Every structure is written in structure tokens, then in C-alpha cells.
Structure 1
Amino acid sequence: MDKSAAVEITKDENGISQVLLKSPRGASARVSLHGGQVRSWKTERGEELLFTSSKAIFKPPAAVRGGIPICFPQFGNRGSLEQHGFARNRIWVVDKNPPPLQSTNSSGKAFIDLLLKSSDDDLKIWPHSHELRLRVILTVDGCLNLISRVRNVNGKPFSFSFAYHTYFSISDISEVRVEGLETLDYLDNLCNRERLTEQGDALTFESEVDRVYLSSLDAVAVFDHEKKRTFVIKKEGLPDVVVWNPWEKKSKAITDFGDEEYKHML
């Protein structure tokens, strides 16, 4: 039995390349070049950790409802571009000669480098020449690391927003709590981005939530009591944390999302 990390490139049903990363212990991650998007992340026991809607549309240029969409150069509708920007809708390429990263120890890790360059069409709607790089790493013990880098190609200053729009798979939203956000200020998107302060020791869910927690700690934990599973999200360089669940009413209004699926994602 092969105990080394492995990287395989195949095609999906639409002929788009996807990359399968396998750890020596059997964990896996699947990354599509459509959006540079992690579509699957499984434990060594084959348990799926990411949610994907049963109604997700996998044909470009539609964004895929699930996995880890890349939001760039805009988050949400805070700008003139389409919702969450265009990076999640574009076809990326494998970056065969990426600039070096400080973290060079790749022993036992499976990883892939992806690249999205600004196209002529992109420059018409967002006139800033850039390159967006993503390294997806699956460690020996099955942890998933994502490292993004934005390069300003011509040196003219520009600002942008960036986010990993991660859909975690959970047992039941009512059985989940989030720790690491206590006492933080947040913008409540359900109240015209009113700035409020988190009062609870942990965040639990009884209705729709759409919040941007500001200047959060570098580690946030999602506890799923029923599955006896904890997601620990560690970050560098991304100051804020977004918490979103559409709940029942809004779920029914989202065409590529099942009516009851809000119960199983965060």
C-alpha cells in the first residue's frame, strides 16, 4: 500500500480539470479549477467535512453552492461587481512555477498551486492587472491549509476584498456552537450592517445569522455535538470572520439551495 502523499488530476463531468489530493493516512481533498474551489475534504475514514447543496450548479459560469468558494476581489455586494466578485466563476490553471513560500516543508503533504490571471474581460469590469495564487495543502494528519497571494502586476495601487466562503458540513444547526467570537464587535447584515457587540460566551443558532465579526482571534472553533466533531479554523492576514446561515425562509428563496439544507451547513 502506497504510504506517500499523492496528487491526481482528472476531469469532471463538464470536462473541467480537478485535482485530488491524498494524504498518506487516507484523508483527501478535491479542488476544481472552476473557481479554484475546494469541493471536497474527507477524513481518513471517508467522512465528508464540507457541505455541497444537492441543488448546486456545476456548470460555469455559475458559482458552486458548497465547498470553499473564493471571494475576490469583492465580498458580498459591497461594490460594483457581481456578488462575491468573479474569481469563483473563472477557470483557473495549475501554477507550475509558483514563487516560493516561506513554509517550505512539504514532507508527507499533498499540495497543488493554482493561478488566476486577470483577463481582458476582467479588466473591463475591474481595471486592475493582477494575479491571484492559491496553494491548497493536505497535511499528513488530514488538515487542510489554504494560502492565497495577490500580486499587483503593474504597480498601480488598488484595494480589494478576499474571503474563503467555507461551507462546513454539520449534523444539525441547532446542535452547533461557535467559540472564539465572544466580546467581539460585529456588523449585522440583517440590520443594515449595524455595529453590535457579541454578548454570549458561545454563538448558537435559533434563526438566520449573517454577521461579520471584526478583528477576530486567529483561531475560531465550531463544535458539532451530535457528530462529536470540532472544526478549528486558524488564520493569518484575514482579520474578520463571517458567520452565515440562511435559515428556513431565506433557504426557500435560494434557487440552488434545498429548503431544509440550512440545517446541515454553517
Structure 2
Amino acid sequence: MVTGAMCRMIHMRGRIKVQVRSLASHFVPMLCAFLLVLLSPAIASAQQADVVLAVGTITTDNYPGQEFAGNGLGEAILYQAITMLDDGGEFAWCAGKVVEWRRIDEVNKEQKFQQSKYADPATAIKKLGTLAPDFLIGGSIKFGAGKADWTIEIRTNPGGELVDSFTGFADDDAVLDEAARITEHVLDRLCPGPWTVTGGGARIKVSGKVAKLDEAFKVVGKFPGGTANFLYSPTSRSGGTVDYVLAGGGFSGAGSGTYTIGPSGDGSTLTIKQTTTGCIAGVPGSCKTNSEVLTLTPVSR
């Protein structure tokens, strides 16, 4: 049992995430002693996550006064990942899970106890399911001259194959503040993508490919007798502005509007919902507002 912390399990859009809220600290939450997901067989078989990640070991050079900085940064990264993947978070669109893997030994001990003669059969957990992460986040911190130089690695699990390695630095008393941008880098690297784009409206069919949701991208729409080129300028991963030019059949036109990106509800694809207003050049009364829904499907890695 962990004092001063509240934990809850959330099952949403084909994924399970464990959210931790601490009453003791606002940036390094206490984690539940057994913060691995308890799954019924039905829930386990229904999961469609593209990535399951966990934080492993972040070492330090035992600099005086900073012996526990690695554990603190690891806890902060885990908290940031849970927050960013949660509804309303920056990566809410990502079908991912976060599991606490560093306490796997405690979980195994608890499972053995639950199946022992010392546990009350009426209240004992009959089946304790643990999700093994696909990726482990680890690294190191080196302190000196008032600075903290960190290296973060993403490795496959099992196997330990290096997927990515990146570095940064901070003041030695502000290394925990690096957790947000570290986590953003990790999720940007591991969450699904690139994406194929399909869909459109009643008279237009759109296709294309998107590398990253937070960078400008283009798609092409085809309609009877012409084409429309759409340029998307994101203000965040969840939306932005869109401009288009169209031509064909001896006419041309242009328009602009806004778009949003969100989960489609099936746990794997996303939708772009856009509303634009445009006009045919030189044709009075031709201005029209259109709405289209496009589907973003992750390309298999």
C-alpha cells in the first residue's frame, strides 16, 4: 500500500492507461506499489495499442546531493507520459500505454502471495495480468559545474536494441524540469506514424501521406474535372489552419479554413475534420463553405 497517492485505471478507446495523482508532490508522484495493469482476459484481448512503454533505469554519477536524481527524473518522465497520453493531453491521439516496470519484482511477489495459503480466498486476486513494455526508457545524468548533462535512450524490450538516443542539459537543480520535453521526444518517436490520408466529401476524394502531425503537410483532392491541393499548417498536433487552391475545366479558385485532428473511436485511426470557405475566380456568387472528414491511418513500421 502506498500512502498519500491515489491511483486509477482508465480504459479508453482500446487502450488502458494508469494515471497517478499524488497528494505529496506536484511533480514527482508516488507510484502505486503494484502499478501494472490488472486485466481481465476480455480486456486484454481487446487492446489495440501501438506502443507500450515503461521507464527503466536512469543512472547518475553519484554527485553529492544528487544521488536520487535519476529516480526522480524517471518518475517525472512516467508522470508526463501518463498526462500527455490522457484525454486532453498533447498525445491523446496516440494509442499507447504506460506501465510501471521497475517494480515488476514486487508485482511477482504479490502474485505469489495472492496464490498462497496465507491469502484470503474470498478476496484474493485470481489472475494478475502484467503488460510487458515494448520499449524501455533509460539513460544517465552527469553533474558538474552547476550543470546536469543527460542522455536518454529508447531500447526495445526484450532485446535491448537501441531505437534512439538523445541528449540535453539543464541547471543541476532543474533537471526534473526536463521531463516534459524528454517525454515529448519519446512519444513523438514511438507513437504511430507516418500516416496515409483518405476520405473527402460528396464530390472530392483526398489522398496523401503525413510524416508528422505537428509539421506542415500537403494532400491532393480530386473531383470531376479538376484537382485541389490542400496545405495544412498545424498550430499543434491536434489542429491548425488549411489553405487550398483548385484548378480544372478552365477555372481556378482558392479557399481557407481550419481543421482539427482527433481519435476516430476505433483505437488506431484518426480523423481530420475541416471546414473551409472558397470561391471560383471570376465567378460571382460562387463562394461556398465545405466540410470534409479525412481518415489518418498509421503506416506499419
Identify the structure with the greater helix proportion.
2
TM-based fold match above 0.5: no
TM bin (shorter chain) = under 0.3
Identify the structure with the greater strand proportion.
2
TM (normalized to structure 2)?
0.23
Specify which structure has the bigger relative contact order, considering alpha-carbon pairs within 8 angstroms and separated by 6 or more residues.
Answer: 1
